[in-house]
Amino acid sequence: MKKDLYMQFYRTMYKIRTFERRIEEFSMKGDIPGFVHLYIGEEAIATGVCANLTHQDYIQSTHRGHGHTIAKGAKVNRMMAELFGKKTGYCKGKGGSMHIADFSVGMLGANGIVGGGFTLATGAALAEKIKKTNNVSVVFFGDGASNRGTFHEALNMAAVWKLPVVFVCENNEWASTTPYLTTTSVKDISDRAVGYGIPGEIVDGNDVFAVYEASGKAIERARKGEGPTLLEMKTYRIKGHYVGDPQLYRTKEEVDQRFEENDPIRRFEDHVLSEGILSENEMKAIVEEVVGEVDKAVEFALESPFPDVEELYSDLYVD
Amino acid sequence: MKKDLYMQFYRTMYKIRTFERRIEEFSMKGDIPGFVHLYIGEEAIATGVCANLTHQDYIQSTHRGHGHTIAKGAKVNRMMAELFGKKTGYCKGKGGSMHIADFSVGMLGANGIVGGGFTLATGAALAEKIKKTNNVSVVFFGDGASNRGTFHEALNMAAVWKLPVVFVCENNEWASTTPYLTTTSVKDISDRAVGYGIPGEIVDGNDVFAVYEASGKAIERARKGEGPTLLEMKTYRIKGHYVGDPQLYRTKEEVDQRFEENDPIRRFEDHVLSEGILSENEMKAIVEEVVGEVDKAVEFALESPFPDVEELYSDLYVD
Amino acid sequence: MREITFSEATLEAMREEMKRDPSIFVMGEDIVRQGGIFGQFKGLPDEFGTDRVIDTPITETAIIGAAIGASLAGMRPVADMHFADFMGVCMDEIFNQMAKIRYMFGGQTTVPMVIRAPDGLIRSAAAQHSQSIESWFNNIPGIKVVAPSNPADAKGILKAALRSNDPIIYFENKDLFRMKGDVSEDEDYIVPIGKAKVVREGKDVTIVSYSIMMQQALEAADILEKDGYSVEVIDLITLSPFDEETVIQSVKKTHRLLIAHEAVKRGGLGGEVAAVVAEMAIDYLDAPIIRVGGKFTPVPFSPTLEEAYRPKTSEIVEGVRGMF
Amino acid sequence: MREITFSEATLEAMREEMKRDPSIFVMGEDIVRQGGIFGQFKGLPDEFGTDRVIDTPITETAIIGAAIGASLAGMRPVADMHFADFMGVCMDEIFNQMAKIRYMFGGQTTVPMVIRAPDGLIRSAAAQHSQSIESWFNNIPGIKVVAPSNPADAKGILKAALRSNDPIIYFENKDLFRMKGDVSEDEDYIVPIGKAKVVREGKDVTIVSYSIMMQQALEAADILEKDGYSVEVIDLITLSPFDEETVIQSVKKTHRLLIAHEAVKRGGLGGEVAAVVAEMAIDYLDAPIIRVGGKFTPVPFSPTLEEAYRPKTSEIVEGVRGMF
Ligand SMILES: Cc1ncc(C[n+]2csc(CCOP(=O)(O)OP(=O)(O)O)c2C)c(N)n1
Ligand SMILES: Cc1ncc(C[n+]2csc(CCOP(=O)(O)OP(=O)(O)O)c2C)c(N)n1
Ligand SMILES: [Mg+2]
Ligand SMILES: [Mg+2]
């Protein structure tokens, strides 16, 4: 049981990392159109949180959404095709990186609007409350997004109505080119929970076990009808804001050091090896499996056709 | 000195009360057009806060703005004329009750948009900071408004930039027909200060001395460049949400009892009498002066002409 | 058939559809204890409980955002805006989320929801409580916009909206709520979205209007009739995308067109109607296309100014007379 | 005169005006360390300090609200929107406060501020980062809207905006930022707000356009010239209220009108231009008024679809050919 879970952690984190590395490569070459924001270095968050969720639960994601999508159970081939703008992508090529989604697994979409997901996730939770299920809804958001008015409106609404929604802040210390403390009035964003009378907790966002546990508790609380929780996952943005960002606002040394000290995948590997939970071979097998899957996804994407021009007019209205 | 201040408190509170009673009367008769929201029972707040301000300081008000406007130093005759839609009103009849303003005394306007004033007041404070004056800006807002996203965005911005702005919540327990605890996730709205790393304080909003003192401290702090404060004035809405509100959502007994127990003007009178600060005669003189002023304002408003039709097209653009 | 008010007609539509379909719920400010500012939700809390009739905080952003989220989770939310003037608060949710979600996610989901937005002038409510902003949404693909002009249509098209799988904005004029009229009792009485109605046939000129301005349009038609002009009057009912065919057919017959709405004339919906006709049927036109609408100013408070702002029957009459 | 980019031209305007007038300051996201997404603020923090060049939180509502408040307190704020697509977030502040404050308070104050809003398609930025929403503001009295099409005008009209006492929305097309052109070095080089420019004279047809679509308009004019048509091209520059006189005079001469913009055709600004002409000069028209604009869908991501969405030179050419 525990071992299965650990293997799942590794598989998911490694799949995200591998996916993102390939995306970076293709995006730098100009093969992937549009803006691309990578999740490298933050894999433990999506992985740990989504391991507590079923496909009946919902997540709302951000512009940095590939990791959430993979962790929620989407297939990398249709994701890859979408990012390449192909007909076989999840959104038939209409969405791209900033609008990746797989509704069949409860992944309600990346969002190009920073802070756009708070109220949507709250609404999905409201629906489940009205329907009297015990499904929950989780919204991922950045430190930068935590300053938007939608944060406040959604947390207040969710708290008053005790909705089954968990607010997961990915505090990676940067909002685009801006260090978070220059635009955010509290060091610990979890402090803001006080303003809504709900629990707020700081979590080591690069420790998949800590993430799994803290979010598991919050999700359980939500399922039981006890209302929302605000979790702040402390992490760090390893890559530029978007692929191609010259990053003039920080040094390469700073980034390298933070990554070396705190790569969530390396930390996981060290831990499971030293505790003897997974063997080198077991991990190698996972790596091979995952790399193969992503390679196939690349092939699938490259071979897929672009959407037909008529596709422009479909999916606008139902009736 | 102290006596002057106390006389000013009484004059302002009584003027607001008298003004509002007359407005209620004319509004019920249908002589005053549009929506009218009365400040009766909340007079101590505007009075106590504005006693700390000069005409170089700014206030932003709400839909319930007559009291703030009077307390900031506007003339009741031009206010009255505005509420009647007359040419001689502050806004030439274009604004009415929900858009009463007197820029010459730093009263930057009532606002028909609940929560519309937070960011405007923050901007006025930003301007003063850039200009390196020590003027401050105060925004009044309701318990209902405290849930709007603009609250969050403004408090965060003001806190990060340490702007000279004071946020004054008038928690009158009702937002229109809704008891505040059914839509607000914290009992004490001042708790929300924690989320911005600024001081938050609960104040007895029906005690003009307490209001004066607490807001004085906050305003002083702002003037010194130490940043914003969130003050929560506990009060109670004595009248309907608007003139004509059938108030089916609460009993007359409840309201009467609250008013009897906690009328800010009666509390003031009892206090200054028992402390021997003002005599009955001194107070009577103030009452007469104020009632006379409001009577004259009514006359002025009634005698003033409506704006000419051509006035429709003026004041749209400057250039 | 019996006479009820516009407000009651919308209430009936809500009641019938909420009974039919448990996934419909309604939320907004001051609904539960007040029954809506215009009584348009009266009694719903008692009948359907406060799980399905919900008082919200004063947070239009969260109201619309939550409605969108709930619709993605299989519900059919109705979100009340209190006043259409407050739609600026949630404009991002309306145009970047609600309108685009189905399309940008490649048809993976639907967003069946209705925004109810009371609009228009009402005795001196002034600049922030009197607006008609329907034309903005005409430029936003992915939304449908309707605006009934009478109790019967109010019921029929609200029912259509509640059964639709597309996001719909339902503008209801504040002053129309108390209008009385015959309304069908048929529980399947539907006014189809996307179809305009020729409410009065004529040969000499076409007046296109909708919502409360239909009253002035019909009044003008009566006056003009006495002058000897035969006036055709079209009620658009659906404003976006509007029924181009019905308008064009009419203009091809009458050769003259006037469009009237309470919204500001400049940049109003009338421009789009005029442009479609100037593109599709210009050869049939025997006169300039005239638009009548609100003046190019915010809505002023004082009764004299508000009256000067308001588009009037006389402007329609003069406009038509000038065509001959 | 020397060749500089559109982005540099706006930077020059900012620099010159900020030197002239200490009440001008600029705020927005990612200005200080990045110099704006399109380099349009590069160097300003060094020159004017971070008191006057300010990085904000990601809070468009507070950015616009604070700009309004600062303008009431005597400053002249410039607020950068990052992408015009985010204007929905602060739409309430724009239309209920910024546009109305001077009017509804009876002229007691002015609201001198400029919103800079990069708009339009840029390589596959998709549904929420590609929009042109200028037509909404045409329906909102109290705002002026400008949209230059080249570096010279970009500088001249930004300077005019920075000196104006009215609130102005300055739409700058994202793809135009790298366009090069001759730009005046005169520190008082002003392009007046409210005036359109006839950038090419012709006799047979008028093409009205603005912003990036001016390139397609001029390209089409070249192609049509070879067919033997003499094409007049008007650059509106100011979109609201636009220069009706110049358009009408041109149509009276050419008798034919086509309007082209990148924004969605339906409900776009072209409708207003067409309607004004159909009201004021219909007797002069010898052909239908044709509009070319974005298709009625959200902007899709995939390059093939984005290209299908984009209004094209060939559509303008076909449109004009069809008039004869
Ligand atoms: C409403 C809105 N404003 C601005 C942007 C531009 N933008 C995109 S991502 C971003 C930074 C987001 O920072 P954060 O929320 O911390 O997320 P992170 O990128 O660090 O994951 C900004 C400013 C946007 N997409 N939406
Ligand atoms: C954005 C917005 N939403 C809704 C309204 C309608 N409205 C006007 S006043 C009010 C209640 C305000 O309550 P509160 O903020 O507590 O102020 P109070 O009236 O108690 O002084 C509401 C809902 C509005 N004017 N603006
Ligand atoms: Mg971040
Ligand atoms: Mg209140």
Three-class secondary structure assignment of chain A: CHHHHHHHHHHHHHHHHHHHHHHHHHHHCCCCCCCCCCCCCCHHHHHHHHCCCCCCCEEECCCCCHHHHHHHCCCHHHHHHHHCCCCCCCCCCCCCHHHCCEHHHCECCCCCCCCCHHHHHHHHHHHHHHHCCCCCEEEEEECCHHHCHHHHHHHHHHHHCCCCEEEEEEECCEECCEEHHHCCCCCCHHHHHHHHCCCEEEEECCCHHHHHHHHHHHHHHHHCCCCCEEEEEECCCCCCCCCCCCCCCCCHHHHHHHHHHHCHHHHHHHHHHHCCCCCHHHHHHHHHHHHHHHHHHHHHHHHCCCCCHHHHHCCCCCC
- Within 10 angstroms of residue D227's Cβ, the number of other Cβ atoms is 12
Mean per-residue pLDDT, D38-48: 96
Q: Which of A84, A312, A315 to mutate to test the interface with D (most CBs of D within 10 A)?
A: A312
Q: Does D263 touch chain B if contact means CB atoms closer than 8 Å?
A: no
Identify whether residues C123 and C263 lie together within a single domain.
no
**pLDDT value of position B1:** 57
Output the pTM of the full model: 0.98
Residue C277 within a domain: yes
Res. C1 pLDDT band, cuts 50 70 90: confident
pLDDT for A289 beyond 90:
yes
Mean per-residue pLDDT, A298-307: 98
Q: Which of D63, D139, D290 to mutate to test the interface with C (most CBs of C within 10 A)?
A: D139
Percent residues over pLDDT 90 in chain B: 99
Distance CA A43, CA A63 (A): 15
Quote the ligand 4 centre to B175 CA distance (angstroms).
4
pLDDT for D296 beyond 90:
yes
Q: Is the CB of A114 under 6 A from ligand 1?
A: yes
Q: CB B198 to CB A185 under 8 A?
A: yes
Identify whether residues D117 and D266 lie together within a single domain.
no
Distance CA C271, CA C278 (A): 10
CATH of the domain at C292: 3.40.50.920
- Distance between the two ends of chain D, CA-based, in angstroms? 41
Residues of C in contact with A137 (CB under 8 A): 69, 73
Could you tell me the domains of chain A? 2-306 (3.40.50.970)
Distance CA B231, CA B140 (A): 10
**Residue after which a domain boundary falls, among C161, C183, C205:** C183
Identify whether residues D147 and D240 lie together within a single domain.
no
Q: What is the pLDDT of residues A36-50, one digit of tens each?
A: 999 999 999 999 999
Identify whether residues D158 and D286 lie together within a single domain.
no
Is residue B309 within 8 Å of B47, Cβ to Cβ? no
Mean per-residue pLDDT, C185-195: 96
Q: Phi and psi for C146 in degrees, rounded to 5?
A: -125, 160
Exposed, middle or buried by CB within 10 Å (0-12, 13-18, 19+), for A280? exposed
Q: Does B315 touch chain D if contact means CB atoms closer than 8 Å?
A: yes
**Residue-averaged pLDDT of chain B:** 97
Is residue C106 within 8 Å of C76, Cβ to Cβ? no
SS3 assignment, position B202 = strand
Identify whether residues D205 and D313 lie together within a single domain.
yes
Report the atom number in ligand 2 closest to the C-alpha of B143: 16
Q: Which of B58, B119, B128 sits opposite D61 (nearest CB)?
A: B119
Report the atom number in ligand 1 closest to the C-alpha of D89: 1
Please report how the helices B2-28 and B280-303 are oriented relative to each other, as an axis angle in degrees rounded to 10. Answer: 40
Is residue C64 within 8 Å of A164, Cβ to Cβ? no
Q: What is the pLDDT of residues D198-253, one digit of tens each?
A: 999 999 999 999 999 999 999 999 999 999 999 999 999 999 999 999 999 999 99
Is residue C111 within 8 Å of C98, Cβ to Cβ? yes
Identify whether residues C148 and C289 lie together within a single domain.
no
Q: What is the pLDDT of residues B186-201, one digit of tens each?
A: 999 999 999 999 999 9
Residue D104 within a domain: yes
**Residue after which a domain boundary falls, among D157, D183, D209:** D183
Chain D neighbors (3+ CB pairs < 8 Å): A, B, C
Q: CB B311 to CB C309 under 8 A?
A: no
The token duo for B319 is 């250039």
Res. D316 pLDDT band, cuts 50 70 90: very high
Identify whether residues C140 and C109 lie together within a single domain.
yes
Q: Is the CB of A145 under 6 A from ligand 1?
A: yes
DSSP class per residue in D102-167? HHHTTTS-----EEEEEES--TT--TTSS---HHHHHTSTT-EEE--SSHHHHHHHHHHHHH-SS-
Residue D129: active-site member = yes
Distance CA D166, CA B317 (A): 6
Q: What is the pLDDT of residues B262-289, one digit of tens each?
A: 999 999 999 999 999 999 999 999 999 9
Residues of C in contact with D291 (CB under 8 A): 275, 279
Identify whether residues C274 and C233 lie together within a single domain.
yes
**pLDDT value of position A245:** 96
Residues of C in contact with B178 (CB under 8 A): 29-30, 32-33, 55
Is residue A86 within 8 Å of A305, Cβ to Cβ? yes
Q: Does A63 touch chain D if contact means CB atoms closer than 8 Å?
A: no
CA B228 remoteness from chain centre: 19
Q: CB D142 to CB C298 under 8 A?
A: yes
Mean per-residue pLDDT, B29-42: 97
Report the atom number in ligand 1 closest to the C-alpha of D86: 1
Res. C144 pLDDT band, cuts 50 70 90: very high
- Measured from CB, residues less than 6 Å from any atom of ligand 2 are B 62-64, 112-114, 142-145, 170, 172, 174-176, 237, 241; C 29, 58, 60, 82, 86, 89
Identify whether residues C147 and C251 lie together within a single domain.
no
Q: B82: distance to nearest CA of chain C, Å?
A: 8
Q: What is the pLDDT of residues A219-275, one digit of tens each?
A: 999 999 999 999 999 999 999 999 999 999 999 999 999 999 999 999 999 999 999
Query: In what helix (H) or strand (E) does residue C51 lie, and over which residues does it extend?
Result: none
Q: Phi and psi for C212 in degrees, rounded to 5?
A: -65, -25
> What residues does A60 pair with on adjacent strands?
A139
Residue D190 within a domain: no
D257-264 and D76-80 strand pairing: unpaired
Q: Is the CB of A175 under 6 A from ligand 1?
A: yes
Residues of D in contact with A96 (CB under 8 A): 124, 126, 301-302
Is residue B153 within 8 Å of B195, Cβ to Cβ? no
**Residue-averaged pLDDT of chain A:** 97
Closest CA to D87 of C140, A115, C92, C90: C92
Residue C191 within a domain: no
Q: Phi and psi for D3 in degrees, rounded to 5?
A: -80, 125
Residues of C in contact with D126 (CB under 8 A): 104
Q: Is the CB of A113 under 6 A from ligand 1?
A: yes
Report the atom number in ligand 2 closest to the C-alpha of C89: 1
Q: CB D58 to CB A145 under 8 A?
A: yes
SS3 assignment, position B108 = coil
Residue C217 within a domain: yes
**pLDDT value of position A1:** 57
Is residue C237 within 8 Å of C210, Cβ to Cβ? yes
Closest CA to C126 of B103, B245, D104, B38: D104
pLDDT for C313 beyond 90:
yes
Radius of gyration of chain B (CA): 19
> How many domains does chain D divide into?
2
**Residue-averaged pLDDT of chain D:** 98
Which one-letter DSSP state was computed for residue B170? E
Q: Which amino acid is at B291?
A: V
Mean per-residue pLDDT, C165-173: 98
Res. D1 pLDDT band, cuts 50 70 90: confident
Q: What is the pLDDT of residues B113-155, one digit of tens each?
A: 999 999 999 999 999 999 999 999 999 999 999 999 999 999 9
Percent residues over pLDDT 70 in chain D: 100
pLDDT for A292 beyond 90:
yes
The residue whose two tokens read 């029906």 is B206
Residue D312 within a domain: yes
Is residue C169 within 8 Å of C220, Cβ to Cβ? no
Q: Phi and psi for A41 in degrees, rounded to 5?
A: 95, -10
Q: CB C103 to CB A316 under 8 A?
A: yes
Contacts B–C by Cβ distance under 8 A: 116
Identify whether residues D24 and D130 lie together within a single domain.
yes
- Within 10 angstroms of residue C322's Cβ, the number of other Cβ atoms is 11
Is residue C46 within 8 Å of C212, Cβ to Cβ? no
Q: What is the pLDDT of residues A170-224, one digit of tens each?
A: 999 999 999 999 999 999 999 999 999 999 999 999 999 999 999 999 999 999 9
Residue C158 within a domain: yes
Report the atom number in ligand 1 closest to the C-alpha of A171: 16
Distance CA C169, CA C117 (A): 7
Q: Which amino acid is at B89?
A: G
Q: What is the pLDDT of residues C96-126, one digit of tens each?
A: 999 999 999 999 999 999 999 999 999 899 9
Q: Which amino acid is at A81?
A: A
pLDDT for D265 beyond 60:
yes
Identify whether residues C273 and C134 lie together within a single domain.
no
Q: Which amino acid is at C206?
A: T
**Residue-averaged pLDDT of chain C:** 98
Exposed, middle or buried by CB within 10 Å (0-12, 13-18, 19+), for C303? middle
**pLDDT value of position A2:** 87
Closest CA to C56 of B192, B152, B37, B176: B176
Distance CA A117, CA B262 (A): 44
The domain of C59 spans 2-183
Q: C34: distance to nearest CA of chain B, Å?
A: 7
Q: Phi and psi for B64 in degrees, rounded to 5?
A: -100, 65
Residue whose CA is at the smallest distance from ligand 1 atom 7: A114
Is residue D80 within 8 Å of D27, Cβ to Cβ? yes
Which one-letter DSSP state was computed for residue B102? B
Q: A147: distance to nearest CA of chain B, Å?
A: 6
Q: What is the pLDDT of residues B217-262, one digit of tens each?
A: 999 999 999 999 999 999 999 999 999 999 999 999 999 999 999 9
Q: Phi and psi for C161 in degrees, rounded to 5?
A: -65, -40
Q: Which of the listed residues A66, A68, A99, A114 should we mutate to test ligand 1's pocket, taking the one with most ligand atoms within 8 A of CB?
A: A114
DSSP class per residue in C144-175? EEE--SSHHHHHHHHHHHHH-SS-EEEEEEGG
**pLDDT value of position B102:** 98
Burial annotation B160-192 (CB, 10 A radius, 16+ → b, else e): bbbbbbbbbbbbbbbbbbbebeebbbbebbbbb
Radius of gyration of chain C (CA): 19
- Distance between the two ends of chain A, CA-based, in angstroms? 47
> What residues does C80 pair with on adjacent strands?
C116
**Residue after which a domain boundary falls, among D183, D214, D235:** D183
**pLDDT value of position B2:** 87
Query: In what helix (H) or strand (E) does residue D92 lie, and over which residues does it extend?
Result: helix D91-92
Closest CA to C254 of C323, C175, C165, C177: C323
Please report how the helices B117-131 and B149-160 are oriented relative to each other, as an axis angle in degrees rounded to 10. Answer: 20
Q: CB D73 to CB B121 under 8 A?
A: no
In C59-218 the beta strands, taken as DSSP E runs, fall at 76-80, 114-119, 144-146, 168-173, 180-183, 197-200, 205-209
Identify whether residues C123 and C253 lie together within a single domain.
no
Residue C301 within a domain: yes
| List of residues 6+ apart from C307 with CB closer than 8 A | none
Which one-letter DSSP state was computed for residue D43? T
Is residue D178 within 8 Å of D202, Cβ to Cβ? no
Give ∠ CA A100-A104-A106 in degrees, rounded to 5: 75
